[in-house]
């Protein structure tokens, strides 16, 4: 058995959906579990809808209509017969979406924002998988549509749910019976409400299915030829890494590489299941393999750039040392505001952190200012280079001011403006 994962870019329009049977035709003898993300930029649109409804009074009708029409146009291209069941599925899913938006917009809503987020945003994956499952059936590729909310069992930590592996193993094992099964990435359930596994969590979903089913391999289909040493949007001379280790992939994901979700690797490593990154634009080409072998990790530097960064400097009001008890207090504040730290560095009387720009920062800094002096710079970049050398550092920092730098034997990180 193989587990395939198709991301949003690989199912963004009708032509992309038509490409999936072409890819699957190369695996006619295989049992497949196919995990699919929301189509195109659907998740972004659903997040915008959620925020607008939460803020009450902000207009949601136009965004809702655009999202509906986007999926309707894809369906019309794929299913000319408007009596097809897929049109009913579309309307049912959008009726449920509308219901949750109305509930969220009510000032007397009962639950916190993150719970409503998890009822609304995963609609994208339910839509994409319904469309793709129906289209494959039309093309003669019989498959079973599986609702991940019945299979991926989690706790109630909304937007970052923790997997109940024992229950999930049982549920998935009972449900996956046919040659081709299709389910959603990103989604789980606590038994009462939909939960989500974190933004871009569909890779993790594929790894969960692979782990509990003892799959032969996971193939992630991307719009790039494999695992590249840098983001091709920012670098012209990228190099495909033909083979890298699980450990190296985790490091790159931790530092912000977007190719694989950070949580994906552990379930695969635990079962020694290789992960292959291949291009859906050129399915016959060799991709990149992530596995146990460490021998190829240091062949070329890998570069990661995170934009829209904020450098926060925290210092004591009375010039006392930033000791363990004070760091414990500071980390507690960051935890309460669910604000991740991308880089940290401390001196005798100050503690500096680099974080993503987000709506959580204002409340975070207000609480920090109750006990500390706080200064910050925004609009920065965090540059990370694994297996760095002088030319790579010089090339990436040319004409930039380095505000903070941190080096180890394998990695250098620099906050620049």
Same domain, 28 and 158: yes
Residue 293 lies inside a defined structural domain of this protein? no
The SS3 of residue 115 is helix
Residue 6 lies in a domain: yes
User: Number of C-alpha atoms within 13 angstroms, CB side, residue 402?
Assistant: 13
Supply the pLDDT for residue 57: 62
Please tell me whether residues 196 and 308 are part of one structural domain: no
Domain-ending residue, one of 215, 242, 258: 215
Residue at which a domain ends, from 215, 239, 267: 215
Residue 271 pairs with which residues in a beta bridge?
none
The residues that bridge with 196 in the sheet, in sequence order, are 187
Domain range for 73 is: 2-215
Q: What are the φ and ψ backbone dihedral angles of 153, each rounded to 5 degrees? A: -90, 135
Give the Cα separation of 248 and 232 in Å (integer): 19
Distance CA 64, CA 59 (A): 10
Q: Could you tell me how many residues make up the chain?
A: 417
Tell me which of 215, 246, 268 is where a domain ends: 215
What six digits make up the tokens of 365? 């800094």
Strands 144-145 and 217-222, sheet pairing:
unpaired
Structural domain includes residue 277: no
39 with 176, same domain?
yes
Domain count across the chain: 2
Q: Are residues 14 and 110 in the same domain?
A: yes
Domain membership of residue 283 (yes or no) is no
Whether 406 and 396 have beta carbons less than 8 Å apart is answered as: no
Q: Decide if 226 is inside a domain.
A: no
- Pairing mode, strands 372-386 and 302-316: antiparallel
Residues 311 and 203 in one domain: no
Please report the beta strands in 51-204, taking only residues with DSSP state E, as ranges in sequence order: 144-145, 180-184, 187-189, 194-196
Per-residue tens of pLDDT for the chain, all 417 residues = 999 999 999 999 999 999 999 999 999 999 999 999 999 999 999 999 999 999 876 678 999 999 999 999 999 999 999 999 999 999 999 999 999 999 999 989 999 999 999 999 999 999 999 999 999 999 999 999 999 999 999 999 999 999 999 999 999 999 999 999 999 999 999 999 999 998 888 999 999 999 999 999 999 999 899 999 998 888 888 999 999 999 999 999 889 888 888 899 999 999 999 999 999 999 999 999 999 988 888 888 999 999 999 999 999 888 888 889 999 999 999 999 989 999 999 998 899 999 999 988 999 999 999 999 999 999 999 999 999 999 999 999 999 999 999 999 999 999 999
Instruction: Tell me, yes or no, whether 380 lies in a domain.
Output: yes
In whole angstroms, give the CA distance from residue 200 to residue 219.
16
**Exposure of 134 by Cβ count < 10 A (0-12 exposed, 13-18 middle, 19+ buried)?**
buried
């Amino acid at each position: 058995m193989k587990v395939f994962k198709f991301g949003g870019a690989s199912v963004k329009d009708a032509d992309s959906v038509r490409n999936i049977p072409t890819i699957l035709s190369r695996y006619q003898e295989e049992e497949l579990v196919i995990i699919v993300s929301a189509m195109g930029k659907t998740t972004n649109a659903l997040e915008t809808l959620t925020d607008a409804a939460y803020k009450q009074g902000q207009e949601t009708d136009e965004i809702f209509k655009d999202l509906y029409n986007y999926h309707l146009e894809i369906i019309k291209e794929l299913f000319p017969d408007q009596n097809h069941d897929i049109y009913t599925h579309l309307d049912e899913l959008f009726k449920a979406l509308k219901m949750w938006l109305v509930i969220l917009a009510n000032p007397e809503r009962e639950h916190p924002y993150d719970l409503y987020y998890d009822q609304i945003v995963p609609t994208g994956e339910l839509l994409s998988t319904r469309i793709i499952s129906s289209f494959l059936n039309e093309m003669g590729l019989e498959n079973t549509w599986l609702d991940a909310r019945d299979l991926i069992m989690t706790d109630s930590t909304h937007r970052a749910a923790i997997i109940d592996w024992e229950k999930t193993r049982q549920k998935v094992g009972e449900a996956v019976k046919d040659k081709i099964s299709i389910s959603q990435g990103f989604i789980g359930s606590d038994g009462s409400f939909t939960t989500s596994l974190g933004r871009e969590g569909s890779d993790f979903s594929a790894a969960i299915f692979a782990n509990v089913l003892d799959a032969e391999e996971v193939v992630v289909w991307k719009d790039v030829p494999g695992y590249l040493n840098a983001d091709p949007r920012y670098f012209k001379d990228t190099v495909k890494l033909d083979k890298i280790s699980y450990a190296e992939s985790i490091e790159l994901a931790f530092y912000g590489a977007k190719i694989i979700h950070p949580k994906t690797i552990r379930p695969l490593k635990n079962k020694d299941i290789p992960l292959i990154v291949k291009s859906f634009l050129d399915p016959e080409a060799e991709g990149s393999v992530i596995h146990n072998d460490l021998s190829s990790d240091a062949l070329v530097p890998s570069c990661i750039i995170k934009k829209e960064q904020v450098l926060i400097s925290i210092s004591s009001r009375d010039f006392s040392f930033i000791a363990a008890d004070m760091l414990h207090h500071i980390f507690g504040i960051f935890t309460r505001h669910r604000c991740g730290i991308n880089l940290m560095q401390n001196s005798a009387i100050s503690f500096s952190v680099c974080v993503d720009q987000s709506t959580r920062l204002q409340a975070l800094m207000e609480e920090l200012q109750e006990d500390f002096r706080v200064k910050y710079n925004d609009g920065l970049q965090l540059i990370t280079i694994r297996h760095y050398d002088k030319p790579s550092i010089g090339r990436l920092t040319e004409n930039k001011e380095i505000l903070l730098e941190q080096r180890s034997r394998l990695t250098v990180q620099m906050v620049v403006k």
